[in-house]
């Protein structure tokens, strides 16, 4: 399978390997071109000089003089020299043994046919031939350099210089071998580096994906080890943050579901008991029956309330859109107080207000109303008869502040930090009696947050409680 690891490896290897391969071949090419050029020029020049010097002697028949001259040159040029006439017959040969024979060298034939004034070529005709031609044993290469000899009537023959090129070929071979071995070393090094690099690069990714697989199977507690630095470290950290978030979300959700089902079960169980007693006691007195029906009706109301609250909460979880508008907070506060006045009156409580006029907040009207309603409703519920509840609306330092203060039963210090949690009630038994589910304040907190505000509670058991909601004036959500 083509994993990132292998891709990195391959890419790295290809880049390093190919570029070095190209560099090496170019370099060898350049070196050999240079060496060959130099050699060709050298040999051709020598041959030309020889042809020039030999031509006059070749015409006059001073064989001895010519022989001496050739011998001398053969030593200084370190090679075999031959002079060939226009018919291709070898007239002089410093090795002597080819004298009188027809020349077989291509370059010489070319010059003699008139195609070129000079010719040069390196050949590998087999070791035996090489040894026979150049006298060099164990050599694979031999070079022929030919130049025409001219007299007054034009070409009179050609000079052939057989030179030894084995050492040149050897040094080229050495250069080549060296480059190949350097190439091999670099290739191996590149491979090793690529291996290490790809491992370093992919290990964290593999770790994350392994962890993700585990998480996918349902284990939300797994974390990626955070190692190294840079982006990969960040990847691991971010992943862990996300995992932690998921885990806590999962926990909260589970808790929420179990709390919710518990809350729903209780009224259902109560209703079932009442219904069963009505079924199995057909001769139940009519008043008792009516009483039971009223109770059942009440339970249904409670259930409806809980379900409504749950819906509100889940909708807010889904980041339900806010319908923002300019809300006259002064009016809204008075309206809400008006709504709750009958409930307070029933308990012979004083519901006092201290509302500054013309305070406007840009926010969601129904949510803002719900916030104050829930707080005031709590104040009424958790304050004994004939108590006093005070609702105020102020604007201070550009912030809009609601205060709901009662002189009721208050909230123990230990419970204060929990009352905003879903389903949290200070007194579980009392909650059921008064019809509370413990969702009111969590809804309040959520809605306050959506408006970019904060909520705090100040309370003393037996003395009363005060809830303070502060909005930044713009009512901007975060
Ligand atoms: N003004 C208050 N005085 C004393 N205790 C309070 C006051 N407001 C809230 N509490 C405590 O905080 C708990 C949580 O309040 P919350 O409004 O969330 O739930 P609830 O009133 O019990 O039920 P719900 O509002 O969902 O019908 C209450 O059960 C109560 O114990
Ligand atoms: Mg409440």
| CATH number at 321-472 | 3.30.565.10
Does ligand 1 come within 6 angstroms of the Cβ of 302?
no
Q: What is the rounded distance in angstroms from the CA atom of residue 448 to the CA atom of residue 456?
A: 11
Does ligand 1 come within 6 angstroms of the Cβ of 404?
no
Atom 25 of ligand 1 has which residue's CA nearest to it?
Answer: 440
Q: What is the 3-state secondary structure (H, E, C) of 159-196?
A: EEEEEECHHHHHHHHHHHHHHHHHHHHHHHHHHHHHHH
Q: What is the rounded distance in angstroms from the CA atom of residue 30 to the CA atom of residue 23?
A: 10
Does ligand 1 come within 6 angstroms of the Cβ of 382?
yes
Does ligand 1 come within 6 angstroms of the Cβ of 411?
yes
Residue 436 C-alpha to ligand 2 middle, in angstroms?
A: 6
Atom 8 of ligand 1 has which residue's CA nearest to it?
Answer: 378
Residue 373 C-alpha to ligand 2 middle, in angstroms?
A: 9
Question: Residue 228: left if φ>0, alpha if ψ -120 to 50, beta else—which one?
Answer: left
Atom index in ligand 1 nearest the CA of residue 467 equals 1
In terms of C-beta density within 10 A (0-12 exposed, 13-18 middle, 19 or more buried), how is residue 39 classed?
A: middle
Query: How far from 218 is each of 6, 215, 222, 424, CA to CA, in Å?
Result: 30, 5, 10, 28
- Structure-token pair, residue 453: 């505000």
Atom index in ligand 1 nearest the CA of residue 425 equals 29
**pTM of the entire predicted model:** 0.57
Atom 12 of ligand 1 has which residue's CA nearest to it?
Answer: 419
Does ligand 1 come within 6 angstroms of the Cβ of 431?
yes
Does ligand 1 come within 6 angstroms of the Cβ of 79?
no
Domain limits, CATH 3.30.565.10, in the chain? 321-472
Residue 364 C-alpha to ligand 1 middle, in angstroms?
A: 23
**Residue 147, SS3 per DSSP:** strand
Atom index in ligand 1 nearest the CA of residue 424 equals 14
Strand 118-123 to 90-93 pairing:
unpaired
Looking at residue 371, its pLDDT comes to 96
Strand 154-164 to 118-123 pairing:
unpaired
Q: Which ligand is nearest to the CA of 442?
A: 1
Looking at residue 476, its pLDDT comes to 44
Q: What is the rounded distance in angstroms from the CA atom of residue 62 to the CA atom of residue 325?
A: 126
Does ligand 1 come within 6 angstroms of the Cβ of 378?
yes
Residue 415 C-alpha to ligand 2 middle, in angstroms?
A: 15
Each residue of 81-90: b (16+ CB within 10 Å) or e? Answer: bbbbbeebeb
Do the Cβ atoms of 229 and 244 come closer than 8 Å?
A: no
Domain limits, CATH 3.30.450.20, in the chain? 4-173
Residue 404 C-alpha to ligand 2 middle, in angstroms?
A: 13
Atom index in ligand 1 nearest the CA of residue 379 equals 1
- Structure-token pair, residue 307: 């379900």
Residue 428 C-alpha to ligand 2 middle, in angstroms?
A: 13
Does ligand 1 come within 6 angstroms of the Cβ of 444?
no
Residue of 388, 403, 423 lying closest to 356 (CA atoms): 403
Does ligand 1 come within 6 angstroms of the Cβ of 461?
no
- 4-173 maps to CATH 2.40.30.10: no
Q: What is the pLDDT along the chain (478 residues), one digit of tens a residue?
A: 457 778 877 887 788 878 888 888 888 888 888 888 999 999 999 999 999 988 888 877 678 888 888 999 999 999 999 999 999 999 999 998 888 999 999 999 999 998 899 999 999 999 999 998 988 888 999 999 999 999 888 899 999 999 999 988 888 888 888 888 888 888 888 888 888 888 887 887 888 888 889 988 988 888 888 877 788 888 888 889 998 998 988 888 888 888 888 888 888 998 999 999 999 998 989 999 999 999 999 889 888 988 888 888 888 776 667 889 999 999 999 999 999 999 999 999 999 999 999 999 999 999 999 999 999 999 999 999 999 999 999 999 889 999 999 999 999 999 999 999 988 889 876 655 666 788 899 999 999 999 999 999 999 999 999 999 999 976 444 4
Does ligand 1 come within 6 angstroms of the Cβ of 465?
yes
Residue 348 C-alpha to ligand 2 middle, in angstroms?
A: 19
- Structure-token pair, residue 261: 């089902």
Does ligand 1 come within 6 angstroms of the Cβ of 436?
yes
Looking at residue 475, its pLDDT comes to 44
């Amino acid at each position: 399978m083509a994993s990132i690891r292998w891709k990195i490896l391959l890419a790295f290897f290809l880049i390093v390997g190919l570029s070095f391969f190209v560099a090496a071949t170019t370099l060898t090419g350049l070196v050999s071109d240079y060496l060959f050029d130099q050699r060709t020029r050298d040999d051709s020049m020598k041959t030309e000089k020889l042809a020039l010097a030999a031509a006059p002697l070749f015409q006059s028949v001073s064989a001895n003089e010519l022989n001496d001259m050739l011998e001398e040159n053969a030593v200084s040029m370190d090679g075999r020299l031959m002079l060939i006439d226009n018919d291709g017959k070898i007239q002089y040969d410093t090795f002597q043994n080819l004298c009188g024979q027809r020349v077989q060298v291509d370059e010489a034939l070319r010059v003699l046919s008139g195609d070129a004034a000079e010719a040069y070529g390196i050949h590998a005709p087999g070791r035996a031939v090489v040894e026979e031609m150049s006298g060099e044993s164990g050599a694979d290469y031999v070079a022929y350099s030919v130049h025409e000899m001219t007299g007054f009537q034009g070409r009179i023959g050609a000079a052939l210089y057989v030179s030894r090129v084995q050492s040149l070929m050897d040094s080229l071979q050495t250069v080549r071998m060296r480059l190949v071995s350097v190439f091999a070393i670099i290739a191996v090094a590149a491979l090793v580096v690529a291996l290490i690099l790809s491992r370093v690069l992919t290990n964290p990714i593999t770790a994350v994906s392994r962890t993700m697989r585990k998480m996918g199977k349902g284990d939300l507690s797994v974390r990626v080890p955070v190692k190294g630095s840079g982006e990969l470290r960040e990847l691991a950290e971010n992943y862990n943050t996300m995992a932690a978030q998921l885990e806590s979300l999962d926990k909260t959700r589970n808790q929420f579901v179990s709390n919710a089902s518990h809350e729903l079960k209780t009224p259902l169980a109560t209703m079932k008991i009442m219904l069963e007693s009505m079924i199995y006691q057909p001769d139940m007195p009519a008043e008792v029956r009516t009483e039971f029906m009223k109770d059942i009706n009440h339970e249904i109301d409670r259930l409806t309330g809980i379900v409504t609250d749950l819906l509100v909460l889940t909708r807010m979880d889904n980041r339900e859109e806010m319908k923002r508008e300019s809300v006259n907070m002064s009016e809204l506060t008075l309206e809400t107080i008006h709504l709750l006045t009958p409930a307070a009156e029933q308990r012979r409580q004083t519901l006092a207000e201290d509302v500054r006029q013309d305070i406007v907040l840009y926010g969601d009207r129904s949510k803002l109303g719900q916030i104050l309603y829930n707080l005031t409703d709590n104040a009424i519920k958790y304050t004994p008869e004939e108590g006093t509840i005070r609702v105020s609306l102020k604007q201070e330092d550009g912030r809009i502040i609601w205060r709901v203060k009662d002189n009721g039963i208050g909230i123990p210090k230990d419970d204060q930090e929990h009352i905003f949690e879903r389903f949290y009630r200070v007194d579980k038994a009392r909650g059921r009696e008064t019809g509370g589910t413990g969702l009111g304040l969590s809804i309040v907190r959520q809605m306050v947050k959506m408006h970019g505000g904060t909520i705090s509670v100040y309370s003393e058991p037996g003395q009363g409680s005060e809830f303070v909601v502060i909005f930044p004036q713009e009512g901007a959500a975060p």
